Copies of this chain bind each other. A is one copy, B any other.
Amino acid sequence: MKRTLIKETPQLVGQTVTLKGWVNVRRDHGKIVFIDLRDRTGLVQVVLVPELAKDFHTEDVIAITGIVKQRPEKLVNPNIETGTIEVEAKETELFSKAAELPFDMGKETLEVELPTLLDYRSLTLRHPKVQAIFKVQAVVIDAFRKALQAKDFLEFQAPSIISAVPEGGAEVFRVKYFDHEAYLSQSPQLYKSLLVTAFERVFSVNHIYRAEPSVTTRHLTESTSLDAEFGFIESWEEVQEMEEYVVRFIFDEVNSRCAKELALYNATIPLISEKIPVIKLRDAQEIIFQRTGRDVRAEKDLAPEDEREICAWAKEEKDSDLVFVSHFLTKKKPFYVHPDPADPTYAYSVDLLCRGVEWSSGGQRLSDYQTIVNNVHEWGLSEKGIALYLQAFKYGSPRLGGFALGAERITMHILGLKNIREATMFPRDMERIDVRLSTLE
Protein backbone atom coordinates (compact mmCIF):
# COMPACT_ATOMS: atom_id res chain seq x y z
CA MET A 1 0.00 0.00 0.00
CA LYS A 2 1.17 3.53 -0.71
CA ARG A 3 2.98 5.12 2.20
CA THR A 4 1.31 7.91 4.14
CA LEU A 5 3.57 10.38 5.94
CA ILE A 6 2.88 10.82 9.63
CA LYS A 7 2.21 14.54 9.37
CA GLU A 8 -0.64 13.81 6.94
CA THR A 9 -2.56 11.57 9.36
CA PRO A 10 -4.64 14.24 11.19
CA GLN A 11 -6.34 15.02 7.86
CA LEU A 12 -7.18 11.34 7.24
CA VAL A 13 -9.53 10.45 10.09
CA GLY A 14 -11.51 7.33 9.29
CA GLN A 15 -9.18 6.23 6.53
CA THR A 16 -6.85 3.26 6.36
CA VAL A 17 -3.22 4.26 5.96
CA THR A 18 0.18 2.58 5.81
CA LEU A 19 2.86 4.30 7.87
CA LYS A 20 6.56 3.47 7.72
CA GLY A 21 9.14 4.53 10.22
CA TRP A 22 11.02 3.87 13.43
CA VAL A 23 9.63 2.76 16.78
CA ASN A 24 10.29 5.81 18.92
CA VAL A 25 8.80 4.45 22.16
CA ARG A 26 6.80 1.36 23.07
CA ARG A 27 4.49 1.22 26.09
CA ASP A 28 2.88 -2.07 27.10
CA HIS A 29 -0.45 -1.98 28.95
CA GLY A 30 -1.46 -5.65 29.14
CA LYS A 31 -3.90 -6.27 26.32
CA ILE A 32 -2.98 -3.11 24.52
CA VAL A 33 0.34 -1.74 23.30
CA PHE A 34 1.15 1.86 22.35
CA ILE A 35 3.91 2.61 19.89
CA ASP A 36 5.00 6.13 19.04
CA LEU A 37 6.06 5.77 15.43
CA ARG A 38 8.56 8.27 13.97
CA ASP A 39 9.22 9.25 10.39
CA ARG A 40 10.91 12.32 8.90
CA THR A 41 7.72 14.33 9.32
CA GLY A 42 6.97 13.65 12.97
CA LEU A 43 5.54 11.29 15.57
CA VAL A 44 2.19 9.53 15.85
CA GLN A 45 0.69 7.22 18.46
CA VAL A 46 -0.27 3.75 17.23
CA VAL A 47 -2.49 1.39 19.22
CA LEU A 48 -1.89 -2.32 18.75
CA VAL A 49 -2.88 -5.66 20.16
CA PRO A 50 0.15 -7.56 21.53
CA GLU A 51 0.05 -10.01 18.58
CA LEU A 52 0.62 -7.16 16.11
CA ALA A 53 3.15 -5.37 18.33
CA LYS A 54 5.26 -8.56 18.36
CA ASP A 55 8.62 -7.85 19.97
CA PHE A 56 9.03 -4.46 18.27
CA HIS A 57 11.24 -2.18 20.29
CA THR A 58 12.81 1.24 19.97
CA GLU A 59 14.50 1.93 16.60
CA ASP A 60 13.07 -1.11 14.85
CA VAL A 61 12.03 -0.04 11.36
CA ILE A 62 8.44 -1.15 10.71
CA ALA A 63 5.35 -0.58 8.61
CA ILE A 64 1.92 -0.26 10.16
CA THR A 65 -1.37 -0.37 8.31
CA GLY A 66 -4.30 0.87 10.33
CA ILE A 67 -7.22 3.22 10.70
CA VAL A 68 -6.81 6.84 11.72
CA LYS A 69 -9.07 7.59 14.72
CA GLN A 70 -9.98 10.90 16.31
CA ARG A 71 -8.95 10.95 19.98
CA PRO A 72 -11.46 11.89 22.63
CA GLU A 73 -11.00 15.53 23.72
CA LYS A 74 -9.40 14.60 27.05
CA LEU A 75 -6.81 12.35 25.42
CA VAL A 76 -5.58 14.92 22.91
CA ASN A 77 -1.81 15.38 23.21
CA PRO A 78 -0.94 19.03 22.51
CA ASN A 79 2.80 18.27 22.47
CA ILE A 80 2.81 16.53 19.11
CA GLU A 81 1.36 17.71 15.83
CA THR A 82 -0.67 14.54 15.40
CA GLY A 83 -1.98 14.74 18.97
CA THR A 84 -5.62 14.85 17.92
CA ILE A 85 -5.55 11.37 16.42
CA GLU A 86 -4.13 7.91 16.86
CA VAL A 87 -3.79 4.98 14.50
CA GLU A 88 -5.40 1.64 15.26
CA ALA A 89 -3.13 -1.00 13.76
CA LYS A 90 -4.61 -3.77 11.61
CA GLU A 91 -1.39 -5.12 10.16
CA THR A 92 2.30 -4.71 10.89
CA GLU A 93 5.54 -5.59 9.15
CA LEU A 94 9.12 -5.60 10.36
CA PHE A 95 11.63 -4.09 7.93
CA SER A 96 14.75 -4.03 10.07
CA LYS A 97 15.48 -5.15 13.60
CA ALA A 98 17.49 -2.81 15.83
CA ALA A 99 20.06 -4.12 18.29
CA GLU A 100 19.40 -3.47 21.95
CA LEU A 101 20.00 0.22 22.71
CA PRO A 102 22.90 1.40 24.88
CA PHE A 103 20.72 4.12 26.46
CA ASP A 104 17.14 5.33 26.54
CA MET A 105 16.27 7.03 23.25
CA GLY A 106 12.65 7.62 24.25
CA LYS A 107 13.02 10.59 26.57
CA GLU A 108 12.14 14.08 25.43
CA THR A 109 15.73 15.16 26.03
CA LEU A 110 18.51 12.71 25.40
CA GLU A 111 20.31 12.32 28.71
CA VAL A 112 23.81 11.38 27.63
CA GLU A 113 27.15 13.09 28.05
CA LEU A 114 28.91 14.61 25.05
CA PRO A 115 31.38 11.74 24.46
CA THR A 116 28.48 9.26 24.37
CA LEU A 117 26.44 11.58 22.17
CA LEU A 118 29.30 11.45 19.65
CA ASP A 119 30.40 7.83 20.13
CA TYR A 120 26.85 6.86 19.17
CA ARG A 121 26.36 9.58 16.58
CA SER A 122 24.47 7.38 14.13
CA LEU A 123 21.97 6.61 16.83
CA THR A 124 21.76 9.96 18.62
CA LEU A 125 21.10 11.76 15.31
CA ARG A 126 17.73 9.98 15.33
CA HIS A 127 16.52 11.71 18.44
CA PRO A 128 13.91 14.36 17.53
CA LYS A 129 15.58 17.02 19.63
CA VAL A 130 18.98 16.30 18.08
CA GLN A 131 17.45 16.30 14.61
CA ALA A 132 16.02 19.75 15.30
CA ILE A 133 19.57 21.15 15.52
CA PHE A 134 20.36 20.11 11.97
CA LYS A 135 17.04 21.26 10.57
CA VAL A 136 17.80 24.70 12.01
CA GLN A 137 21.32 24.55 10.59
CA ALA A 138 20.07 23.65 7.12
CA VAL A 139 17.72 26.64 7.25
CA VAL A 140 20.52 28.96 8.43
CA ILE A 141 22.68 27.91 5.49
CA ASP A 142 19.83 28.02 3.00
CA ALA A 143 18.78 31.46 4.21
CA PHE A 144 22.34 32.76 3.90
CA ARG A 145 22.35 31.73 0.25
CA LYS A 146 18.89 33.09 -0.47
CA ALA A 147 19.69 36.44 1.11
CA LEU A 148 22.71 36.89 -1.14
CA GLN A 149 21.13 35.47 -4.29
CA ALA A 150 18.45 38.12 -3.85
CA LYS A 151 21.23 40.73 -3.93
CA ASP A 152 22.75 39.34 -7.11
CA PHE A 153 25.71 37.51 -5.52
CA LEU A 154 27.12 34.58 -7.46
CA GLU A 155 27.73 31.32 -5.61
CA PHE A 156 31.19 29.85 -6.04
CA GLN A 157 33.04 26.75 -4.87
CA ALA A 158 35.97 27.68 -2.67
CA PRO A 159 38.76 25.11 -2.86
CA SER A 160 39.97 23.27 0.24
CA ILE A 161 43.40 22.29 -1.04
CA ILE A 162 45.77 25.24 -1.27
CA SER A 163 49.42 25.48 -2.22
CA ALA A 164 50.67 28.02 0.30
CA VAL A 165 49.73 29.56 3.62
CA PRO A 166 50.15 33.27 3.12
CA GLU A 167 48.95 34.26 6.57
CA GLY A 168 51.38 32.04 8.42
CA GLY A 169 51.62 28.35 9.03
CA ALA A 170 50.34 27.94 12.58
CA GLU A 171 47.38 25.65 12.96
CA VAL A 172 47.34 24.59 9.35
CA PHE A 173 46.87 21.00 8.20
CA ARG A 174 49.43 19.65 5.77
CA VAL A 175 48.52 17.38 2.86
CA LYS A 176 50.90 15.13 0.98
CA TYR A 177 50.16 16.26 -2.57
CA PHE A 178 52.09 13.96 -4.93
CA ASP A 179 55.69 15.18 -4.59
CA HIS A 180 54.64 18.46 -3.01
CA GLU A 181 53.29 19.71 0.27
CA ALA A 182 49.87 21.31 0.17
CA TYR A 183 47.58 22.62 2.90
CA LEU A 184 43.93 22.76 3.89
CA SER A 185 42.40 26.20 3.57
CA GLN A 186 41.77 28.17 6.76
CA SER A 187 39.58 30.66 4.93
CA PRO A 188 38.47 31.37 1.35
CA GLN A 189 39.34 35.03 1.93
CA LEU A 190 41.81 35.44 -0.93
CA TYR A 191 39.58 33.56 -3.36
CA LYS A 192 36.49 35.55 -2.60
CA SER A 193 38.41 38.82 -2.85
CA LEU A 194 39.98 37.96 -6.17
CA LEU A 195 36.60 36.85 -7.50
CA VAL A 196 35.14 40.27 -6.73
CA THR A 197 37.49 41.68 -9.36
CA ALA A 198 35.72 39.40 -11.86
CA PHE A 199 32.14 38.89 -10.63
CA GLU A 200 31.61 41.87 -8.27
CA ARG A 201 29.52 39.93 -5.78
CA VAL A 202 30.22 36.39 -4.64
CA PHE A 203 29.36 34.07 -1.81
CA SER A 204 30.34 30.58 -0.79
CA VAL A 205 29.30 27.91 1.69
CA ASN A 206 32.56 26.13 2.29
CA HIS A 207 34.60 24.11 4.72
CA ILE A 208 37.55 25.61 6.55
CA TYR A 209 40.19 23.75 8.51
CA ARG A 210 42.14 24.67 11.59
CA ALA A 211 44.63 22.43 13.38
CA GLU A 212 43.42 23.70 16.75
CA PRO A 213 45.81 21.98 19.18
CA SER A 214 43.38 21.98 22.09
CA VAL A 215 39.86 20.79 22.78
CA THR A 216 37.58 23.76 23.50
CA THR A 217 33.82 24.23 23.45
CA ARG A 218 34.11 26.75 20.59
CA HIS A 219 36.48 25.25 18.04
CA LEU A 220 36.42 22.47 15.48
CA THR A 221 39.15 21.37 13.10
CA GLU A 222 36.67 21.37 10.19
CA SER A 223 33.77 23.79 10.10
CA THR A 224 31.33 25.41 7.72
CA SER A 225 32.02 28.98 6.74
CA LEU A 226 29.44 31.28 5.14
CA ASP A 227 31.45 33.76 3.10
CA ALA A 228 30.38 36.86 1.21
CA GLU A 229 32.41 39.53 -0.56
CA PHE A 230 31.42 42.39 -2.84
CA GLY A 231 32.81 45.32 -4.75
CA PHE A 232 31.96 48.93 -5.62
CA ILE A 233 31.33 49.76 -2.01
CA GLU A 234 31.48 53.41 -0.97
CA SER A 235 32.58 52.70 2.58
CA TRP A 236 33.14 49.97 5.15
CA GLU A 237 29.68 50.70 6.55
CA GLU A 238 28.16 49.08 3.48
CA VAL A 239 29.80 45.82 4.49
CA GLN A 240 28.31 46.08 7.96
CA GLU A 241 24.91 46.93 6.51
CA MET A 242 24.98 43.99 4.10
CA GLU A 243 25.87 41.67 6.95
CA GLU A 244 23.04 43.06 9.05
CA TYR A 245 20.65 42.42 6.18
CA VAL A 246 21.89 38.82 5.86
CA VAL A 247 21.63 38.11 9.59
CA ARG A 248 18.10 39.52 9.70
CA PHE A 249 17.18 37.41 6.70
CA ILE A 250 18.54 34.29 8.41
CA PHE A 251 16.63 35.06 11.60
CA ASP A 252 13.40 35.63 9.70
CA GLU A 253 13.74 32.33 7.87
CA VAL A 254 14.56 30.38 11.03
CA ASN A 255 11.64 32.01 12.78
CA SER A 256 9.16 31.16 10.08
CA ARG A 257 10.47 27.71 9.12
CA CYS A 258 11.69 26.34 12.46
CA ALA A 259 8.98 27.18 15.00
CA LYS A 260 8.73 23.55 16.12
CA GLU A 261 12.50 23.19 16.46
CA LEU A 262 12.87 26.44 18.40
CA ALA A 263 10.09 25.35 20.75
CA LEU A 264 11.90 22.09 21.56
CA TYR A 265 14.77 24.20 22.94
CA ASN A 266 12.64 27.00 24.39
CA ALA A 267 14.83 29.09 22.14
CA THR A 268 14.15 32.54 20.81
CA ILE A 269 15.88 34.17 17.90
CA PRO A 270 18.42 36.75 19.09
CA LEU A 271 16.85 40.14 19.53
CA ILE A 272 17.68 42.77 16.91
CA SER A 273 16.70 46.33 17.60
CA GLU A 274 15.77 48.56 14.68
CA LYS A 275 19.47 48.85 13.92
CA ILE A 276 22.30 46.72 15.30
CA PRO A 277 24.55 49.05 17.33
CA VAL A 278 28.01 49.70 15.86
CA ILE A 279 30.78 50.72 18.21
CA LYS A 280 34.52 51.24 17.77
CA LEU A 281 36.93 49.01 19.70
CA ARG A 282 38.25 51.91 21.78
CA ASP A 283 34.75 53.09 22.63
CA ALA A 284 33.76 49.56 23.56
CA GLN A 285 36.76 49.35 25.88
CA GLU A 286 35.85 52.68 27.48
CA ILE A 287 32.33 51.38 28.13
CA ILE A 288 33.72 48.19 29.66
CA PHE A 289 35.95 50.29 31.91
CA GLN A 290 33.01 52.47 32.97
CA ARG A 291 30.79 49.48 33.65
CA THR A 292 33.26 47.17 35.39
CA GLY A 293 36.28 49.19 36.45
CA ARG A 294 38.50 46.79 34.50
CA ASP A 295 40.84 49.00 32.52
CA VAL A 296 41.10 47.30 29.14
CA ARG A 297 41.43 50.56 27.25
CA ALA A 298 44.93 49.88 25.99
CA GLU A 299 44.30 46.23 25.03
CA LYS A 300 44.77 45.26 21.41
CA ASP A 301 41.72 43.07 21.20
CA LEU A 302 38.62 42.04 23.13
CA ALA A 303 39.07 39.15 25.53
CA PRO A 304 36.17 36.70 25.92
CA GLU A 305 34.97 38.49 29.07
CA ASP A 306 35.07 41.80 27.17
CA GLU A 307 32.89 40.28 24.45
CA ARG A 308 30.40 39.18 27.07
CA GLU A 309 30.43 42.61 28.71
CA ILE A 310 29.90 44.58 25.51
CA CYS A 311 27.06 42.24 24.60
CA ALA A 312 25.54 42.84 28.02
CA TRP A 313 25.82 46.58 27.37
CA ALA A 314 24.14 46.23 23.97
CA LYS A 315 21.32 44.23 25.51
CA GLU A 316 20.74 46.64 28.38
CA GLU A 317 21.30 49.92 26.61
CA LYS A 318 20.33 49.18 23.01
CA ASP A 319 17.88 46.35 23.41
CA SER A 320 19.96 44.19 21.06
CA ASP A 321 21.48 40.72 21.37
CA LEU A 322 23.86 41.70 18.57
CA VAL A 323 26.52 44.36 18.37
CA PHE A 324 29.10 45.29 15.75
CA VAL A 325 32.56 46.27 16.97
CA SER A 326 34.69 48.10 14.42
CA HIS A 327 38.13 49.67 14.12
CA PHE A 328 40.38 46.96 15.45
CA LEU A 329 44.11 47.52 15.29
CA THR A 330 45.43 47.36 11.74
CA LYS A 331 48.59 45.58 12.81
CA LYS A 332 46.60 42.82 14.52
CA LYS A 333 44.68 42.13 11.30
CA PRO A 334 45.76 40.37 8.10
CA PHE A 335 47.75 42.17 5.41
CA TYR A 336 44.71 42.93 3.27
CA VAL A 337 42.82 44.94 5.88
CA HIS A 338 42.01 48.52 4.92
CA PRO A 339 43.30 51.10 7.42
CA ASP A 340 41.12 54.05 8.35
CA PRO A 341 42.85 57.03 6.65
CA ALA A 342 41.78 59.26 9.56
CA ASP A 343 43.98 57.14 11.83
CA PRO A 344 45.70 54.23 10.12
CA THR A 345 46.42 52.60 13.47
CA TYR A 346 42.85 51.36 13.27
CA ALA A 347 41.25 49.46 10.44
CA TYR A 348 37.96 49.35 8.59
CA SER A 349 37.32 45.99 10.20
CA VAL A 350 34.09 45.00 11.83
CA ASP A 351 33.21 41.99 13.96
CA LEU A 352 29.71 40.89 14.82
CA LEU A 353 29.14 39.70 18.38
CA CYS A 354 26.01 37.92 19.55
CA ARG A 355 25.06 36.77 23.04
CA GLY A 356 28.58 37.20 24.32
CA VAL A 357 30.54 35.58 21.51
CA GLU A 358 32.08 36.61 18.18
CA TRP A 359 29.97 35.44 15.26
CA SER A 360 31.86 36.85 12.34
CA SER A 361 34.59 39.15 11.20
CA GLY A 362 34.71 41.28 8.14
CA GLY A 363 35.46 44.69 6.80
CA GLN A 364 36.78 46.65 3.88
CA ARG A 365 39.85 45.20 2.15
CA LEU A 366 42.70 46.88 0.37
CA SER A 367 42.12 47.12 -3.36
CA ASP A 368 45.17 49.06 -4.55
CA TYR A 369 47.73 46.67 -6.01
CA GLN A 370 50.87 48.48 -4.90
CA THR A 371 49.59 48.97 -1.35
CA ILE A 372 48.76 45.26 -1.15
CA VAL A 373 52.23 44.28 -2.39
CA ASN A 374 53.84 46.65 0.11
CA ASN A 375 51.78 45.14 2.92
CA VAL A 376 52.66 41.59 1.92
CA HIS A 377 56.30 42.57 2.49
CA GLU A 378 55.61 44.63 5.61
CA TRP A 379 53.71 41.70 7.14
CA GLY A 380 56.73 39.52 6.35
CA LEU A 381 54.85 37.28 3.92
CA SER A 382 55.77 35.77 0.58
CA GLU A 383 54.20 36.62 -2.75
CA LYS A 384 54.62 33.00 -3.77
CA GLY A 385 51.45 30.97 -3.64
CA ILE A 386 49.18 34.03 -3.63
CA ALA A 387 50.01 34.82 -7.23
CA LEU A 388 46.38 34.65 -8.39
CA TYR A 389 45.30 36.98 -5.61
CA LEU A 390 47.93 39.58 -6.48
CA GLN A 391 47.18 39.17 -10.19
CA ALA A 392 43.56 40.13 -9.58
CA PHE A 393 44.47 43.51 -8.17
CA LYS A 394 47.22 44.10 -10.68
CA TYR A 395 44.56 44.18 -13.37
CA GLY A 396 42.20 46.62 -11.64
CA SER A 397 39.74 46.24 -8.80
CA PRO A 398 36.81 48.09 -7.30
CA ARG A 399 36.78 48.96 -3.59
CA LEU A 400 35.64 45.83 -1.82
CA GLY A 401 34.77 44.21 1.46
CA GLY A 402 32.99 41.25 2.95
CA PHE A 403 32.39 39.04 5.93
CA ALA A 404 32.26 35.43 7.07
CA LEU A 405 29.84 33.76 9.45
CA GLY A 406 30.24 30.36 11.08
CA ALA A 407 27.26 28.10 10.42
CA GLU A 408 27.81 25.93 13.50
CA ARG A 409 28.27 28.91 15.78
CA ILE A 410 25.03 30.54 14.64
CA THR A 411 23.15 27.28 15.12
CA MET A 412 24.68 26.81 18.56
CA HIS A 413 23.73 30.28 19.76
CA ILE A 414 20.23 30.31 18.33
CA LEU A 415 19.43 27.10 20.20
CA GLY A 416 21.49 27.87 23.30
CA LEU A 417 23.71 24.79 22.99
CA LYS A 418 26.69 24.57 25.31
CA ASN A 419 29.24 23.05 22.95
CA ILE A 420 29.81 23.62 19.25
CA ARG A 421 30.14 19.84 18.79
CA GLU A 422 26.42 19.54 19.43
CA ALA A 423 25.83 21.83 16.44
CA THR A 424 27.95 19.67 14.12
CA MET A 425 26.84 16.33 12.75
CA PHE A 426 30.35 14.93 12.60
CA PRO A 427 32.57 17.15 14.73
CA ARG A 428 36.31 16.80 14.29
CA ASP A 429 38.81 17.79 16.92
CA MET A 430 42.25 16.81 18.13
CA GLU A 431 40.92 13.62 19.66
CA ARG A 432 38.09 12.60 17.36
CA ILE A 433 37.27 12.02 13.71
CA ASP A 434 33.88 10.30 14.04
CA VAL A 435 35.45 7.81 16.45
CA ARG A 436 37.98 8.57 19.15
CA LEU A 437 41.32 8.51 17.39
CA SER A 438 42.78 6.48 20.24
CA THR A 439 40.55 3.56 19.20
CA LEU A 440 42.19 3.44 15.78
CA GLU A 441 45.70 2.84 17.08
B-binding residues in A (CB < 8 A): 3, 20, 22, 39-41, 59-61, 95-99, 101, 120-123, 125-126, 131, 134-135, 137-138, 141-142, 145, 149, 152, 154-157, 159-164, 173-178, 180, 182, 184, 191, 194-195, 197-201, 205, 207, 209, 211, 213, 221-222, 224, 232, 367-369, 384-385, 387-389, 391-399, 407, 425-426, 428, 430, 433-435, 437, 439-440
Contacts and interface: CB of A to CB of B under 8 A. Distances in A.
B3 A232 contact: yes
Contact of A175 (B61, B173, B197, B392): B173
Nearest to A430: B178
Nearest to A213: B178
Given A138-B154, A159-B433, A191-B426, 16 more contacts: A20-B232, A61-B398, A122-B198, A122-B392, A123-B395, A125-B195, A134-B199, A141-B155, A142-B149, A160-B184, A161-B173, A161-B433, A175-B176, A175-B184, A178-B430, A182-B433
The secondary-structure label for the interface of chain A is: mixed
Contacts of A157: 137, 141, 207, 224, 407, 425
A225 to B, nearest CB: 11
Contact of A163 (B95, B156, B182, B437): B437
Nearest to A101: B395
B122 A61 contact: no
A247 to B, nearest CB: 20
A146 to B, nearest CB: 10
A189 to B, nearest CB: 14
A53 to B, nearest CB: 16
Contact of A95 (B141, B369, B398): B398
A394 B98 contact: yes
Given A122-B194, A157-B224, A389-B122, A397 B175 contact: no
Contact of A96 (B20, B155, B211, B396): B396
What copy number does this chain have within its complex?
2
B96 A367 contact: yes
Contacts of A163: 433-435, 437, 440
B199 A99 contact: no
Contacts of A213: 178
Nearest to A126: B198
Contacts of A399: 95
Contacts of A156: 134, 138, 425
B391 A122 contact: yes
A30 to B, nearest CB: 26
Contact of A385 (B177, B197, B387, B440): B440
Given A123-B391, A174-B175, A391-B123, A384 B159 contact: no
Contact of A177 (B96, B384, B433): B433
Contact of A126 (B197, B369, B398): B197
A395 B122 contact: yes
A420 to B, nearest CB: 13
Contact of A61 (B20, B131, B396): B396
Contact of A368 (B96, B134, B221, B439): B96
